[in-house]
Amino acid sequence: MEDRLRFGRVEVAGSGGVRFVRSRGTVLKDTKGNPQFVFGISWDITSEVELGRKLEDERALMLHTAKLASIGQLAAGVGHEINNPLAIISGMTSVIDLLLDEGASVDVIRKKLASIENSVQRISDIVKGLRTFARSDSSELSDFDPFPMIRETVDFLREIYLREGIEL
């Protein structure tokens, strides 16, 4: 005696509708192994299938909503990350302007211009990272040296605080 469980789709004659059924049946065999009788039952599981589809649709909608929220957080983070180097550029241009009024040497001004160039490069790296992020779902990590960014920040702050008589 074999017991089998089956799932299938059935078109209901004359209604034009489709129902989903699950069936379970047993084949009774004679002593030689030849099938003699089939006993079985089928039951309608259309509501379960439709509920499963609705759950899948809701899951897809929730995933889409989560992606939109992530994009919003990404945009806020990018704005913050770009504002930092822009603040350095803005501050350094003010410092250069003051240094020019004070007759500072070309070497001092070039050092400040290098800070501006580093900030521009940081913005460029952020945009490049966004392009890479948009193209692939790769979770590949890469090494980077945070010290140039830290040095640049300290140099910028040193200039600001030095005007107030504070030495870093």
Q: Residue 59: beta bridge partners?
A: none
Cα separation, 129 vs 116, whole angstroms: 20
Q: What is the pLDDT of residue 1?
A: 46
Give the alpha-carbon dihedral of 129, 134, 138, 142, to 10 degrees.
Answer: 0
pLDDT tens-digit series, residues 139-159 = 567 777 888 878 877 877 777
* SS3 annotation, 3-24: EEEEEEEEECCCCCCEEEEEEE
Average confidence (pLDDT) over 94-102: 89
**Mean pLDDT for the chain overall:** 82
Q: Kindly report the pTM of this predicted structure.
A: 0.41
CB 120, CB 157: distance < 8 Å: no
Q: Is the pLDDT of residue 115 over 50?
A: yes
Q: What is the pLDDT of residue 152?
A: 76
